[in-house]
Every structure is written in C-alpha cells, then in structure tokens.
Structure 1
Amino acid sequence: MHESDILIIGSGAAGLTAALNLAERFKVTVLAKGAMNEGATAWAQGGVAAVLEPGDTFDSHIEDTMIAGAGLNDRATVEFVVENAPAAIDRLEKLGVPFNTEGEALHLTREGGHSHRRIVHVNDATGWAVQEALLNAARAHPNITLVADMVVIDLATSRHEARYSGAGNVWGVYAFNRAANAVELFTARATILATGGAGRTYLFSTAPRGATGDGIAMAWRAGCRISNMEFMQFHPTCLYNLDVKNFLITEAVRGEGGHLKLPGTGHRFMPDFDPRAELAPRDVVARAIDHEIKRLGLDYVHLDISHQPPEFVRTHFPMIHEKLLGLGVDMTTQPIPVVPAQHYTCGGVVIDRAGRTDLPHLYAAGEVSQSGLHGANRLASNSLLECFVFGEAAADDISANWGDLAPPPAIRPWDESRVTHSDEEVVIKQNWTEIRRFMWNYVGIVRSTKRLERAARRIDMLREEVNDYYGHFRVTPDLIELRNLLESADLIVRSALHRKESRGLHYTIDYPETLDAAIDTVLVP
C-alpha cells in the first residue's frame, strides 16, 4: 500500500497545476497511465485564451464563451475562469513557458468564435511547452512523487473500508502497475481526478490513446453525478491519412486565412453554410464538412492556406509544416486533406467552483469534469485555461479545509483470489473496435433517435459480455480500458437520448429546433 496526503490521477495540465499548488504544504503523489507526458495536454496545438489585448474585455471573452456554449454555460463559472486567465498565464511565464512575443508583448492569435486576438501560444505546439514546464517543476519538487505506468481500476471508497461503511468517502484508488503486473492500493486524504476525456470511444479522435473515459466511468461507479455527456466536440480538421491517425490541423490555420474547399472543383463551401465562413464555431464547421462528405461520398475535404506567402505559413505553423512535408504534403503549395474527428468531451463529472465532486474527499479538474464553463460547445483554447484555473481551485480548497479531511481508515487490499488469467485477449480487441465503430456511425456529428437506440442496444449486449469477462479474469490494462469505454459510451448515448432538441454539439434530425430553456442533462447513479 502507498500512502500520501493527496493523490492525483493524471499528469496533464490540471493534475500538475494542482500538484505544484499543493506541494508547498503536502506530500503529493501523481499517477500517470503511461509516460508522464502522454496525456492530452502535450497534444494541444492551439494555446490558452486570455484577455490581454488592448480593447479586449472580460465581458467580451465571457460573451464569446456563452455564445459558443449555446447558452448552457453556468455564467458565474465562466466569469470565474475568464477573470483568472491573465494570472494563470503569468504563472506559466514564471515557470518558463516560452510564449511567442511581439516586441515586449505576448503574441496573440485568434481562433474561431473569439471576437478578439486572445490566444497566447508557443508556435503551434503550446501544449508540449506547457507540459514540459509543469513536468520539470514537478520533478524538481521534493514533495511530489511521480509514478508512471499506473492504470487506475477504481476509486477506493467507504465500501472498501476494512469495516464496511456507506458514507461514500473516497480514500484513494486501486491501480494496475504495468511493470509489476500487479494491482496496488494508493490511499490519501484527498483524491483529484485529472484523467482527461472519453475521446477514444470514437473511431476517429484527436485524443491520445489513453483517453478512454476512465475518470468519468470510475466516478460514476462510485456514485458521482455525470452531466452533459452528449456534447462531444468534433474538431473539423484532422489530417486524413491512413497511416497517421489523429494528427490535428490547428484551428489557427483557418484563423490565419485557410479556406475549406471541395476536392476536384476547388469550391470554397463554408460561405454556403455560415456568414462567418471558416471562422464559424467548430460545431458549425464540423457539420458543414460532414454534410459535404456524406452528400458527395468523399473521404475528405481540402484545407488550403497555399494562397498565403510561404514564409508566413512556415513561420506560423512550423511543426505542422514539417510533419506534413514528411507525409508528402507541402502546405505552402498544396491543400491539406482533412476530416472531422472527435476532439473534446464537454461533459463529465459534476463539480462546483472549488472542483469538489458529489463524493467527500474527491475532486476533479480539466476535461474529466463538467464545471459549467463549456456549456453545449467548448470555445477554442478555453480547455487548457480550465485546467489551470480548476487545478488551482481544487488545491486551494483542499488547503483551506485540510483540518476537516480525515485520514484514510484501513482499506481492504485488492482481491483476485477468485479469478484466472484470460486466454481470450481477442475478445477485448473485438469489443473495443465494435464500440468505436458504432459510436462513430450512430452517435457522431449528426444523430437520430433510431441510430441512438441502435447504439443503446449494442451497449446492453456488450455490457453482459464485458461484466462476465471482468468477473472471471485477472485485470489487464486493456480490460480496464474496455470496461471504462463501454461505461462512457453508455453515458453518452443515455444523455443524447434524453435531450429532445438540437443544441450546440448535439444535433439530431428528429429534433432540429433549439428549445427556449437551456437545461443541463444530469445523470444520477
């Protein structure tokens, strides 16, 4: 058994921000599913949104966020995050994040849905720079223990106490140690979920391989409410390449003048759908591309910025330019083939403004959570921002209430006395593929009640199989992920069936209108 003051599940922006804020006073353990830098943070190309441009205002950023979120955002939360953004940028600069500058000032770019230039960035690889800075600071801190290759199975709650209790407290987690090939118990007074989203429930996704909805599924099984899972953001422009899965072409390519065109004719189609053309919010752009692909039977559409000077393109998008050159596409002279792909989970574990969940001693921050910031559609570059603000908010609340957080009681060790080794790994692979395929086909960018019901029937069938498998065989990382993928898929489908309107990212042909009242979908375990 491993004991610390605070346990953090996830080593991305939210988890490491919380860890660094807590480590001055407490012993903190951070668990990562794979390597410490394998999460979604390192993949973020865009940047961090903050009001820094003369003439820009908090009110304007708040308004842009509310409009993108189709009115479903919690206004007080949006205000809280937006007003804390400049301070978050300041702290990142102090940690050594080398944001691009113009003279003395930070260079700001603009992205879809923003009325001002307010995205601070490090070229087109902001997330990587942020991840490195946070990780270096965490590695250097004597009070932070970083543990890689730990696949968390479930939260250890009052049900797992040596003297059973129904109090619902969270005392840590059971995690599978890949190196030791064994399950270990980690306990703490407070646990923070910073596990990211559930993007890998879909066939095409820009999320890292580990984004299998683990934190959302674990919190649901332990008794937390889950909200707004029907709002899956699809990034309009993922590179279409059969060898390279999930390489993202940042929003900023459209922000800096890129046009979406039909292959063959070269017709620029976005003005046919929206007066904002390529700068319309992501859901509008993704639906337009999906419409053209289905209407014309295409594999992809073209994103073309070759009308801009080559030097401009190379300077603004060095990483993307280099990557595409290696794949035989020169974006300074050729269009880029793109398709929409699942990109961000707007729903998740319900939290308040201090990052508290429904269960005592359990907090959540970042993509795993539903804080009220994103509403029915996340505004570009508000996601890293949410990680910094809520990572710190959770840390502040734990520090302020430390005296009220009881130490963990004796927790029962993991019991695998009644299970055997599996001889059928193929079952896991098959089910994983099946889930991702039917979620893409039935619960994608455009939905219908019939398609959603089809998905629900598949989930019921698979649940029986997966539960049976989980009950009889020793856990493996693949089995843990499959169980969580299925749970996440179920939460997405149930939420989508519950919403009898089209709003933001949830578009159904059976209810194309948006209702007057914006109401969150809340699932109660």
Structure 2
Amino acid sequence: MTEQKEYPCDVLIIGSGAAGLSLALQLADHAKVLVLSKGALREGSTLYAQGGIAAVFDENDSIASHVSDTLVAGAGLCDKNAVQFTAEHAKEAMQWLIQQGVPFDQYQDDDGKLKYHLTREGGHSHRRILHAADATGKAVQITLVDQVRQHPNIRLLEHYHAIDLITNDDKSRCLGAYIWSQQVRQVEVVPARFVALATGGASKVYLYTSNPDVASGDGIAMAWRAGCRVANMEFNQFHPTSLYHPDAPNFLITEAMRGEGAYLKRPDGSRFMPDFDPRAELAPRDVVARAIDYEMKRLGANCVYLDISHQPADFILEHFPTIYAKCLSVGLDITKEPIPVVPAAHYTCGGVMVNLNSQTDIANLYAIGEVAYTGLHGANRMASNSLLECVVFAQAAARHILQELPATALPENLPQWDESRVSDSDEEVVITHNWHELRLFMWDYVGIVRTDKRLERALHRAELLKQEIQEYYSHFKVSNNLLELRNLVVVAELIIRSALQRKESRGLHYNLDYPHTLDDAKSSPTILTPRPS
C-alpha cells in the first residue's frame, strides 16, 4: 500500500465559499488552518450569488422588522432564537466584510455623506440588502480569497475532495478526514483538532439547478454517515427565475431585479403574480416559484418572462451589469425585451443540525452555511439571508473553537485508507447512467409540486440506486464522479424521507395530497436520526 501523506492541523475546513473562508480568517491569527476546496478556490455557490446580504443599516429599519420578515417567510418553522441571533449579529458581520475590503455599493446623500446603497427583495419590508451591483457573491468571494492567500497560517488545498470524516469508535468525536487529490489521484489523511463542514448545499441532486457543479451535498452526506442528525431536508428552494436559454445553463436572474420593478409575464405579455398573491412579484420565493410552475403547466409553456424593459436603460445598466452582459451574449437586450425564465433548484434549507455555536452532534465537528440547519430559514429561506448566515455563524464557530482550542489535543495514529482490495474502474458508464437517473427522478417526483405516490416511487428508486452505488464503491478506486454520486444518493434519500413525513403543505414543501397548512404549525423541524451502523 502506498504511503499516505498526512496534513495535521488545528482546524480542517472543508469548503471554500463565504462560510469556510470567513471561518479561516477568523481563526488564522491563533490556529493553523487547512482549507480544502473541491475545485478552484474561487469556485462555489458564493461566487454566483447576485442579490446581496441582508442587514439593518437604515435608520428607518429595525432588527425586530428583519426578524419579523424572516419568521413570516419561514412559514412558521423558523427557530426564533436563531433568527434573533442572526439579525442581531448581521451588522457586525457586514462590518467585518467591509473591513476585509468587500466593495459594497455606496452613494452620496444630499449632505455629501457616503452611505451604503440598500435594495429590497421579496419578503423584506424595508430596503436592507447591501450589494455590489448584481454580483455581490463574486465581490465577497474574490475579497476573501485574496485575504486567505496572504495569511501565513492558512494552508490551501485546491482540487481535493473530502471522502469521509474520521471519528472515534463510538462516533462521539471527530478526529479528522480522508481526502482525495484529484490531480495525484491518491487518498490522504488529515488529523485535526477540529473539523468544519462548509460544503454548501445539495441542489445538484436535481436535473435543473442554478448552482455550480460542486454543490453535491457532500457535507450533509459525510455528516450523516458519521452519525449526525439532519433536519428539514424536505424544504428545497427553487429560485423562481433562472435564464431559460440553451446557451446559458445555470444562470440565475437575481430577485433584486423584481425588487427594482421587474414584472413576471405570461407569453402573451400579461402579468400573473397579482392573481396569486397581493405582494405580486415581491412575494416570497416559494409562492413565486409555484405560480410560475402552475402557469407553465397550465399553458404548456416552456418558460415565462421577466420584464424590466420599462425602466430606463441607464438604470438597468447601473444596477444589473452582469445580467445585462450575460443576456446580451446570447442575443437578449434586457433594456428592450423580456427575459425568458424558469424555476431551478437553488438552495437547501435543511441540513446538518447545529446549535448557535455551529456545533453538530459530534464533538469537535462544526457545520456552517448552506450545509447546516441552524433554524434560520424554516420552511422557506428569505432572500439575502444565506450569505448573512455564512458569516454570522462562521464568527460564532470561530469564537467557540478558539475557546476550546487550548484543551484539545491533536489526534494521533489515525487509521490509514485501505484500497488494497479495489481496482480501477472499467465501467464509468454505470456512474453516468445512475447520475442521470437520480437527478431526473428527483426533478420529476420530488420537485416544486409533490404527491405521496411520486415520493414513494422516488424512494424506491433511490434505495435501489444506493445499493448499486455502494456495491460499485466497494469494488473500485474512488473518482470525483463516484464520490459525488455516492453523496447525492444519500441526500436524495434524506430529502424524500423527510418529504414523506410531512403531512401538510408548508413553505417550499407542497404536496397535492395534503394541500392545506396545519393549524398547529408543526413548528418543530423534521429531524432524521442515523441508524446505528
């Protein structure tokens, strides 16, 4: 067996988006940090986030209002303590990002004083969204990447895939992780005092998604296999407006466009959102996505249209330069014509259960960002609370890790990875076929609108696929596609089982067999607990 490299560190952070890099920078002055990135360091969902980050900066706004709006959007399932904690720490988190150099948009008021430009998005009662034009995530990601590359205590491993967490025998403590180099194609071992999962969500489990390829639910699956509980996996947010064009897959049209006056229209040019909700285009995402889905199915249409062309061209170019350029590249001038859009899987509201310190059920294991279930989002994430959650809970995790660091020893003599009984695969077609089948039945049976029959069919297929994939995994050396598929099928099963448990429609979970929302609010999350292995 080839001798395996080891990368001992104080803190292993798996994931390199806003959550992972924020945590690394908060820790690095006091700890040796290793950041693992499955792709290039910049790649991930943060890079593609357009709208912005919610925080109370306007004197006419209030933390109480931010809390209230979030609770309403969450449809009765938010954890009030988590919402209050997040809103109270929002401004502090944004000021930390500003200190790192994130260039949020500013303007001069009538007195010549510079102020941050705040926009408004669906579900918000005030303008409270800090943004960098329509590419906020890109500005955040580039800024944080620049900072971590300069810090001597942060080691970066790009194009490395985490395989599994290493725990002690009773799975009460996390000791590190097995990682796989995509370039060397070798498994290595990372002993760590603490491990933080910051791997993002699982929207790649669906055929159509606004997420980049790396969003394959790795952290959720690894935590589940290690023995962590997960919660609220039935609540998958479908962003209402993804560009519908064969030459532009996975391109999101920010909700901020509707916040700045864009209308959703049928193919005949008529508006339809006022027929579904008094908030019209500014209704929460679950309402808008279902309305679009309903209109497309009713009309047999391939898409609907988002129209901001009634606004002045200069206004559009100033606020939405990225969207304008992208649409123009495929022949659409958004200053003159509407944008064809469809819903796409966008955000995983559930995840690995954590407390307000970002701690999971396993000692020394943390989860931050979209991989985690904090209770902030409930049954539907409100716009621009996601990047906020990343930074707020990264700061909370950093405070707790630094408090525990002096009393936590570095694990020793971790078991090496054994691949003596496996060989190189000569059947990659199996992975390709299973991958397509999984994402297709998840889209058809576990999408925006569900039924028990569809969910039961999906569960049956997921269980069969899981057996096939596990058998394949046990006989062949790991590869990127195999590792992602192994994780995706776990996440698919968790989503389906969670959806089958909820006998109502609420927020992002809509079941035609249970179309009504129960009066008692079912305010506890849907929790799944791993069976002992």
Q: CA-to-partner distance for each residue in 1:19-67, whole Å, 9 max, x for gaps? A: 1111011100000001001111111001110001121000000000000
Contact (CA 8 Å) 2:423, 2:475: kept in 1 or not?
yes
> Where does residue 152 of structure 2 map in the other structure?
142
Q: Which residue of 15, 22, 30 corresponds with 1:25? A: 30
Aligned to 1:434: 437
Match of 2:111 in 1: none
Query: Of residues 217, 225, 228 in structure 2, which corresponds to 1:224?
Result: 228
20, 44, 50: which one pairs with 1:45? 50
Residue 345 of structure 2 aligns to a residue in which SS? strand
Alignment of 1:58 onto 2:63: yes
Question: Deviations along 1:335-375, whole A, 9 cap, x unmatched?
Answer: 10000000100000000000000001100100000001000
CA distance, structure 2, for counterparts of residue 119 and residue 499 of structure 1: 33
Q: Hey, what does 1:115 align to over in structure 2?
A: 125
1:183 paired to 2:199:
no
* SS of equivalent residue, structure 2 residue 189: strand
Structure 2 alignment gaps of length 5 or more: 1-5, 109-113
Alignment-derived partner of residue 450 in structure 1: 453
- Which stretch shows the higher mean deviation, 344-353 or 267-276? 267-276
Give the counterpart of 2:423 among 413, 420, 423: 420
Letter in 1 for 2:244: Y
Q: Provide the C-alpha distance between the structure 2 equivalents of 1:2 and 1:51, rounded to a whole number of angstroms.
A: 41
Does structure 1 conserve the Cα–Cα contact (< 8 Å) formed by 2:165 and 2:178? yes
Shift in Å, 1:88: 1.0
Aligned counterparts of 2:37 and 2:135: Cα–Cα separation in 1: 21
Q: Which amino acid aligns with 1:137?
A: Q
Q: Give me the whole-angstrom Cα distance separating, in 2, the residues matched to 1:167 and 1:67.
A: 37
% identity of equivalent residues: 59
Partner of 2:479: 476
**Bigger Cα displacement from structure 2, 281-290 vs 242-251:** 242-251
Code of the aligned partner of 1:46: G
1:253 to 2:263 alignment = no
Which amino acid in 2 is paired with 1:436? R
Residue 104 of structure 2 corresponds to 99
Superposed displacement of residue 519, structure 1: 2.2
SS at match of 1:293: helix
Measured in 2, the distance between the counterparts of 1:432 and 1:419 equals 22
1:422 and 1:446 mapped to 2: Cα distance? 38
2:201, 2:394 → 1: CA distance?
Answer: 16
8 Å CA contact 2:171, 2:227 repeated in 1: no
- 2:24–2:154: 8 Å Cα contact kept in structure 1? yes
- The alpha-carbon deviation at position 102 of structure 1 amounts to 1.4
- Per the alignment, residue 312 of structure 1 pairs with 315
Where do 4+ consecutive residues of structure 1 move more than 3 Å?
A: none
Distance 1:482 1:401 in 2: 35
| Larger displacement relative to structure 2 (431-440 or 508-517) | 508-517
Segment drifting more, 112-121 vs 243-252: 243-252
Q: What is the CA-CA distance between 1:242 and the residue it aligns to?
A: 1.5
Amino acid across the alignment from 2:513:
D
Match of 2:196 in 1: 192
Q: What secondary structure sits across from 1:420 in the alignment?
A: coil
Structure 1: gaps spanning 5 or more residues: 159-164
- Partner residue of 1:276? 279
3-state secondary structure, aligned to 1:482: helix
Amino acid in the other structure paired with 2:81: A
| In 1: Cα distance, 2:247 partner to 2:421 partner | 42
Q: Give the CA RMSD over aligned residues.
A: 0.8
The CA distance in 1 between the partners of 2:316 and 2:417, in whole Å, is: 54
**For the Cα contact (< 8 Å) 2:191–2:412, is it kept in 1?**
no
Residue 332 of structure 1, aligned match among 335, 339, 345: 335
Deviation of 1:168 (Å): 2.6
1:292 and 1:477 mapped to 2: Cα distance?
A: 38
Give, in whole Å, the separation in 2 of the partners of 1:513 and 1:172: 45
Q: Please state if 1:399 is matched with 2:402.
A: yes
1:162 is aligned to none
C-alpha distance in 2 between matches for 1:309 and 1:37: 34
Which secondary structure does the structure 2 equivalent of 1:146 belong to?
Answer: strand
TM-score, normalised with respect to structure 1: 0.98
What amino acid does structure 1 have at the position aligned with 2:312?
P
Cα distance in 1, alignment partners of residues 450 and 408 from structure 2: 44
Q: How far off is 1:409 after superposition?
A: 2.6
Matched, 1:292 2:302: no
Structure 2 residue 137 is matched with structure 1 residue 132: no
CA distance in 2: counterparts of 1:34 and 1:172, whole angstroms: 20
TM superposition shift of 1:167: 4.7
Matches within 5 A, 1:486-501: 486-501=489-504
**Equivalences for residues 344-383 of structure 1 within 5 A:** 344-383=347-386
The question of whether the paired residues in 1 share the 8 Å contact of 2:14 and 2:196 is answered with: yes
Q: Within 2, Cα distance between the matches of 1:472 and 1:335?
A: 51
d(CA) in 2 for partners of 1:33 and 1:171?
Answer: 20
Q: Which of 511, 519, 523 is the aligned partner of 2:524?
A: 519
SS for the counterpart of 2:92 is: helix
CA distance in 1, matches of 2:104, 2:378: 28
